[in-house]
Structure 1
């Protein structure tokens, strides 16, 4: 050692030992790294998950070790979270795994938060006219299927860190999808566990858990639909514009403010939040269509019997009843399209509405009277047309028509027009009231001719001729002629023959 520091010899020896040490540590690190590519690890994740779930279900692996191993896997390979969510979602949907008690010993317990959340959900739905039953009796721990318990136990181990936002974005939607795909009422349990972890998310968790009853309870869905019609129409009792008496406001409400959730909650808001969880959309279609018919019947009765028989001024004007029937049809069409989408609209054209017209009338609607029959047919035609125009539009050659569900329009509308022609030609017998049928056909043909004449270019000429002949027998010559005029070049000769 001299004044300048270490000698050159010592420096070289020190540097050499440092270099050799770093090379050894580097070789050790490379030796510890896996030599398998990441995608092969991802391919193996489902097999690993099946093995650990099986071991846990048979008692060979504790729930704590299962959760810890899943968390270690996500920390080591974050992309494996997608494989974990995908596998657990599939297994939850299969429904073959046993349920496990969320008792706080083996698996985390929701505690008293579960019953508190369930009570809040029941109170919110009751304010919207929906009554549900309790799914979690007191006295025993709530149960979850093993894959669901493992997934929710994994998710609550993640801290609320900005660096983990991508994980929270995945697991939040994953938990909702898994709960929706399971027949087991699991969403309130998940919400209770997360409420214990993050109390400031309370309102959001309540809104998410509010969807749970509608995925498994058809009666709750029917109650919600009826409540939507009631809230909208009772607030528009004078038949004026739908916003004049807050018809839309009463339907959608103002349920969320700066102070959080506010009761009563509007049924339309709940419908928009939950309609994607309806499993049986055909049931939804039938309920909505029946509501449209029933409300048209009520509106007709209000026109016919409102007030003393001697006091004609006590009646609701017929024009107001017709306007409200039109609003009923628009509401029904909107609710149907939101919940069911293109496939349900197609079934409405091809099956649901024809079946209703062919079937016998219900006891409550027998002998409805001429006004009621007319308004029912009027409302059904408006609803069918509104659903079709909302889905398919009026353009016949637009590039978007190449989309699969849009390209079905000619066949779907053609099938329905063939049905109308078959009835008018006498080959199909109806079960509905003749007044309902006449109002339905006249209104639907008028709407198509007036607003979407391009639809008629794809209808067979023989079908157009039969419908026009039927309209002429009802003294609807102008409508029959307009129908043929818009049938394209193929119908020109028929138009000339009609004029002559």
Structure 2
């Protein structure tokens, strides 16, 4: 392997044909070539070379064509991006990337070489995604010139490129996902009863008789690109903010229907609460898909507690009682849905002790300790009291009703403090249910509660 890597280093600087001869003579060397180029691209020490058609192949007009198509697709989903390749200037690629893509386009499209295309295709995507250089459109343009029937697939692969380096594009995409999910129909005057949902989020199809179908649904683009988001903490905060903003809009929509002092002229508040729950479910799904177990853990231990502890003006200025309640309700639902999607409702089995499922008792326990600390007066909140009350009541209710096995891993002192806080809000039944599901250790606490 060491001799092969040294040979690759010499050949890369001299002749792509030499690398091709090496692969033809020793097909297994392709793995070493890809490994070497990937490592060199990750190091980021190589200078960029012009893809001008002389020393290295030129993408030509196909590059700007693909870039325009990518911008059009993203614009149809509500995401605006800037051009990375000024016209009249040869595009540039880091030397290892230029060598790798130049090598790949020399292989013929033959079924006997499917194993090669399977390796180099994934390698090119991984290298382009792991590099800060906007290289995927150039790679796509070169391959489009070689295989025109792959055009649609290549364009869809290139839409991932902006999201790996542009936080603003990520924020726009997340916002567009929520907006499309809550989008109202032109014939509906109510923002609560409007036509919306998964259909608007995911769309009906991505291709038609004339190629790619426009507009393209933001949910589909999110699923295609979420694995390229580098700053998942930023994604977590953005999703949580969108859930809060949407619940605020739902509350305003409910308040604006009918005279302010005449309740009979308004739709029931349960409709807004139901939509807030669905928005929270969407947020949980987007977060779990993008970040997986680590991001859910961060949401429980850092993101949500920090938001609740922050000053009220950092959330929403003067939200009002209805908006405050819906915000707390939506945050509780999102946290619960994230946990239930990841950990399920059963106790951790011995088989899964080494997996992410074993983190559940500690993660949920830490968050319940935080709730108990606030209710006990040891931690001061910055959010609206109505938001906090709705959040705690809803989250505890969801855990008690749907995942009671989680409570058996919570410390007795924590459960007692939460129960005392719930009773102070006249939530006596919920406090008793919480203690009843805490396992054998809470029997005495249940008896004491019944005797009070």
Task: Confirm or deny a common fold (TM above 0.5).
Answer: yes
Q: Which runs of 5+ in 2 are unaligned?
A: none
Please give the alpha-carbon distance, in whole angstroms, between the structure 2 residues aligned to 1:71 and 1:364. Answer: 58
Distance 1:269 1:473, change over 3 A: same
Structure 1 vs Structure 2 CA RMSD: 1.6
Task: Please point out which of 200, 207, 212 is paired with 1:250.
Answer: 200
How far apart are residue 363 of structure 1 and its match? 5.8
Residue 498 of structure 1: aligned partner? 449
SS in 2 for 1:341: helix
What residue number does 1:22 align with?
A: none
1:153-168 alignment runs, 5 A limit: 153-168=102-117
1:70 alignment counterpart: 19
Q: Does 1:263 align with 2:211?
A: no
Aligned residue pairs, count: 446
Shift of 1:361: 2.1
Deviation at 1:72, TM superposition (A): 1.0
Please, which of 354, 368, 382 is the counterpart of residue 431 of structure 1? 382
Task: Find 1:323's aligned residue among 274, 284, 302.
Answer: 274
Are 2:423 and 1:484 equivalent residues in the alignment?
A: no
Which residue of 2 is the match for residue 4 of structure 1? none
Residues 327-381 of structure 1 deviation map (CA, whole Å, 9 limit, x = unaligned): 1100000000000000000000000000000011236712211111100000000
Offset at residue 111 of structure 1 (A): 0.2
Equivalent pair of 1:381/1:444 in contact (CA under 8 Å):
yes
Q: Contact between 1:238 and 1:320, CA under 8 Å: does it hold in 2?
A: no
2:295 is equivalent to residue 336 of structure 1 = no
- Aligned counterparts of 2:353 and 2:183: Cα–Cα separation in 1: 42
TM-score, normalised by the number of residues in structure 2:
0.96
Q: Sort the Cα spacing of 1:131 and 1:441 in 2 relative to 1 into closer, same or farther, 3 A.
A: same
| Residue 138 of structure 1 pairs with residue 87 of structure 2 | yes
List per-residue Cα deviations over 1:165-219 (Å, max 9, x = no partner): 1111111111000000000000000000000000000000000001100010000
Counterpart check, 1:411 vs 2:362: yes
State how far apart, in whole Å, the 2-side matches of 1:227 and 1:116 are: 25
- Displacement of 1:104 in angstroms is 0.2
- Structure 1, unmatched stretches of 5+, are 1-41
Query: What is the CA–CA distance in structure 2 between the aligned matches of 1:403 and 1:316, rounded to whole Å?
Result: 49
Report matched runs for 1:149-228 at 5 Å. 149-228=98-177
Work out the CA distance in 2 between the residues paired with 1:414 and 1:364: 26
Per the alignment, residue 25 of structure 1 pairs with none
1:220-247 CA-partner distances (Å, limit 9, x unpaired): 000000000000111486656xxx9351
- Pairwise CA distance, 1:93: 1.3
3-state secondary structure, aligned to 2:49: strand
> Which residue matches 1:401?
352
Cα separation, partners in 2 of 1:455 and 1:363, compared to 1, 3 Å: closer
Residue 285 (1) aligns with residue 259 (2)? no
